[in-house]
Amino acid sequence: MNVDPLFALWVYLSGTPLAGLTLTLVAYAAGWWIYSHAGFRPLANPVPIAVALIVAALAATGTPYQTYFDGAQFVHFLLGPAVVGLAVPLAREWKSVRRLALPIAGALAVGSIVALATTVGVAWALGASPATLLSLAPKSVTAPIAMGIAERIGGLPALAAVFAVATGVIGAVLGKYVFDALRIDDWRARGFALGVSAHGIGTARAFQVNTEAGTYAGLAFGLHGVVLALVLPFVAAVVAR
């Protein structure tokens, strides 16, 4: 193999925003290839594989994160339209959602409280610092919202993003096994629980398995983000008094 053309290509890409975009797409394509050849098993989820490949590439080449993100932000921008796109399957299931409005509200309230209380409670019992506790609190919502909430209540946005991504990956990987162990067969319940606990990454996994599960996961993902963004700063202010 002639290495010179490949090296020249990398030198060119590394000096432009194309580097981050190219690395992101290649890493995810590799993760998806592994995922598909593993029979789409949850433990082979392409997101952690892609993250590991990107981190390894940045470390090996000494590329600063900001340089990488200058290109990757094009993919990051598409998260907005993707979230808005979740309204399409939700509109198709709107009659069913309206009939289940009360159970959905109850499940959202219980899920939000349990996710917050267990996380902060366990971390507090283990001696986590106040900044860590405040960064952990919004872990079950998508990273951009978690970062905004953490900054508002005195946490560390970067740490909140790490916790949020880790939570989503763990939920997407282990959710199936938890539901199977608890014998939860209703796709609506499985999807809604995954959306509340594992936000966007869990929602993506739910859509891969079942459209109805994905629809309810998207609903939970959106509602949980809105509720936590409104309620958590108020709760943090009351506790801090």
Distance CA 109, CA 111 (A): 6
Residues 6+ apart with CB under 8 A from 52: none
Distance CA 200, CA 222 (A): 9
17 pLDDT higher than 80: no
14 pLDDT higher than 60: no
Q: What is the mean pLDDT of residues 23-29?
A: 89
Task: Return the percentage of the chain with pLDDT > 90, whole number.
Answer: 18
Instruction: Locate the domains of the chain by residue range.
Output: 3-77, 88-240
Q: What is the pLDDT of residues 70-100, one digit of tens each?
A: 777 777 667 777 777 777 788 788 888 888 8
Model confidence band, residue 105 (pLDDT cutoffs 50, 70, 90): very high
Distance CA 4, CA 197 (A): 47
Q: What is the mean pLDDT of residues 212-228?
A: 89
239 pLDDT higher than 80: no
Tokens describing residue 212 = 């109805």
Q: What is the pLDDT of residues 117-161, one digit of tens each?
A: 888 899 999 998 888 988 998 888 888 888 888 888 888 888 888
DSSP state letter for 211: H
Distance CA 42, CA 205 (A): 8
